[in-house]
Structure 1
Amino acid sequence: MQPPNFSQLKSLPQTRENSSSIVPFLLAIGGATATGKSSLALALAQRLLAQNQGGVILSADSRQVYREFDIGTAKPSARDRQQVPHYLIDICAPTETLTLAQYQHQAQGLIQQFHQVGTSPLLVGGTGLYIEAVVKGLRIPPVAPQPELRRQLEALGQPYCYGLLKGLDAIAAQRIHANDLVRTVRALEVFYVTGQPMSALQGEVPPAYPVFYLALDSDTAALERRIVQRTQAMVAAGLVEEVTALAQKYGSDLPLLQTLGYAEILQYLQGDCSLPAAVDNIVLHTCQFAKRQRTWFRNRAAVQWFDADAGDLVDRVWQQINNWSQVNLK
């Protein structure tokens, strides 16, 4: 895995104003897919640039970290990246796995570097746990996925695994639903790799710098329209060709090809459905995913919500940031 590239830091403005009088902070933008997080981030980053506070974007998307998966993950365009530097994109090969702990380590390192030169970065994406890991400073057990161990545990069945977890880590078992196989297996995985209960390795170490955390939302009908438009744009941009090339290069069993947008097109390529049916399935599954994202972000008490469909969205957010900065950046 390639380390993050810090070379662009040398070109960031380092004036007296941004190095002494302005307190660097983190601007986090979350929300469901297709709510316009990236376009808002670009507009805000450009305003930060105009105020000599830098203006760079750190991606908080669990699939944009992988190279070659471009159209289906809605990566920023080359033009967007020229306007504002983007980080934590294309840092892994598709055959690698980036853990949450690894993402957090790279994101925290970048934020520290940017703050040292007076730059306030934006952390932007729909992977809520990525954002949470940074803004809350989650303590994450540094245990990479263990595929063989997971298969063995899953073969035992959830009732047995959950009973096992209650005996090994009662605190973790209380936090995990009795039917949640994924989290149960993860807790057992951490125990067997480290020899310590996962509950003993978790916790929070909040960052010392100020954080403005906002999320975008859209009513259900409007969000579905956005998802339809984006899906159609992806297909027009070459999503079918992208999936074809990836399947030929890595094989159709590549885990990333089983994810949203790619799995449906792969079914079309394998002759299991028509292209219109695949597109309809992408829209359906994306709407279902967006609903889960909205629920997740709404359970975050510290988030300030904004209407993604407001005509003056950028001005509203910018005003709220300015109001917040008067209190928190002194």
Structure 2
Amino acid sequence: MAAPPVIAVVGPTGSGKSDLAVSLALELDGEVINADAMQFYRGMDIGTAKITMAERRGVPHHLLDILDVTQEASVSDFQQQARDVIDDIHARGRRAILAGGSGLYVRAALDVLEFPGTDPALRARLEADHAQLGTQALLARLQAVDPVSAGRVSDARRIIRALEVQELTGRPFSSFMPRREYYRPATQVGLGVDREVLRERLAVRVHRMVDAGLLDEVRLLDARGLRRGKTASRALGYSQFLRVLDGTSTIEDAAEETIVATRQFARRQLTWFRADPRIAWLDWHDPELVSKATALCI
């Protein structure tokens, strides 16, 4: 018997993805897989609005709290981990439900998507070339071997990565671009939002995080090496509140900066997910949301 489609609940931050995923799991005998990159980190609870044990309502959750803040999140690692968990859930006759707003991570789990490897020595050589020759020289080098990627990238980090992949694999970096082709059958449910309501909701959310002890959480994580983490240290709220600890910002200013950054992030998420025609969108405030979402996933 073929496994049922994987379910993915997607949408912008603050739209209620975690709650809907739990409700679907209860309706469909499912288990939830986290697809929010910042919720991989142990101790990053308040600032990521990580779902609590009470909010999980007994539903098993996977790929939460799997990294220390000093470790770097990897999309390719997540792809394998998520697919292994999906296989395990389906082997036990249950439904696998992805929930999260990290668009590339969702795509990695659901779609045909290759991740070329890395070579530290090659990367170091290219970075040295960049330091000596500059961005434009490396962009010209990329233009010669991969004009498609050269037309898409402009910052040094991505140019170096594209050159690394081309030299390492013999294939242009552009050939690894994702296709909208499911790796296995899937159903994506998107939470459509009223943007003005979401703007206000995100502001309230950040202030609640501050009241709940976000600064203390950042202080504790700072002692665990938060600043050394390439991924965790850039998380919304955490980078802003590290400056409060440094005495270069106030709590009030850090909160406002976090609100602005979170709203910008939500807009980028909506742009990303709206570009995928396979997502079935539902109104996040529809009183029949759970039943309509369930009907899409049966």
Report the TM-score, using the length of structure 1 for normalisation.
Answer: 0.81
Equivalent position of 1:223 in the other structure: 198
**Can you list the C-alpha shifts for 1:208-266, whole angstroms capped at 9, x where unaligned?**
64211121121221111221122122122221111001112316454322331101111
Aligned ranges for residues 228-307 of structure 1 at < 5 Å? 228-250=203-225, 252-255=227-230, 256-307=232-283
Check the 8 A contact 1:67/1:92 in 2, yes or no: yes
Aligned ranges for residues 73-152 of structure 1 at < 5 Å? 73-81=48-56, 83-143=58-118, 148=124, 151-152=127-128
1:173 aligns with 2:153: no
**Can you list the C-alpha shifts for 1:98-118, whole angstroms capped at 9, x where unaligned?**
321111011111111222222
In the superposition, relative to structure 1, how do residues 215 and 182 fare at CA in structure 2: closer, same or farther (>3 Å)? farther
Kindly, what percent of the aligned residue pairs are identical? 34
With a CA cutoff of 8 Å and minimum separation of 6, indicate the structure with the bigger relative contact order: 2
Aligned AA (1:312): E
SS at match of 1:27: strand
SS at match of 2:7: strand
SS at match of 1:183: helix
Equivalent position of 2:12 in the other structure: 32
In the superposition, relative to structure 1, how do residues 60 and 23 fare at CA in structure 2: closer, same or farther (>3 Å)? same
**Can you list the C-alpha shifts for 1:89-134, whole angstroms capped at 9, x where unaligned?**
1122222223211110111111112222221110110100011112
Equivalent position of 1:162 in the other structure: 139
In the superposition, relative to structure 1, how do residues 130 and 251 fare at CA in structure 2: closer, same or farther (>3 Å)? closer
Unaligned 5+ residue runs, structure 2? none
Aligned AA (2:55): D
Write out the 4+ residue segments of structure 1 that deviate beyond 6 Å after TM superposition: 144-147
Aligned ranges for residues 18-57 of structure 1 at < 5 Å? 23-49=3-29, 55-57=30-32
In the superposition, relative to structure 1, how do residues 317 and 203 fare at CA in structure 2: closer, same or farther (>3 Å)? closer
In the superposition, relative to structure 1, how do residues 149 and 234 fare at CA in structure 2: closer, same or farther (>3 Å)? farther
Deviation, 1:58, is 0.5
SS at match of 2:260: helix
Separation of aligned partners in 2, 1:318 and 1:219:
22
Deviation, 1:149, is 5.5
Separation of aligned partners in 2, 1:202 and 1:95:
29
In the superposition, relative to structure 1, how do residues 297 and 75 fare at CA in structure 2: closer, same or farther (>3 Å)? same
SS at match of 2:224: helix
Separation of aligned partners in 1, 2:129 and 2:197:
42
In the superposition, relative to structure 1, how do residues 265 and 145 fare at CA in structure 2: closer, same or farther (>3 Å)? farther
Check the 8 A contact 1:24/1:209 in 2, yes or no: no
In the superposition, relative to structure 1, how do residues 215 and 205 fare at CA in structure 2: closer, same or farther (>3 Å)? closer
Aligned AA (2:137): Y
Q: CA RMSD in A?
A: 2.5
SS at match of 1:64: helix
Separation of aligned partners in 2, 1:116 and 1:275:
48
Moved more, 193-202 or 59-68: 193-202
Separation of aligned partners in 1, 2:97 and 2:55:
14
Report the TM-score, using the length of structure 2 for normalisation.
Answer: 0.88
Check the 8 A contact 1:141/1:202 in 2, yes or no: no
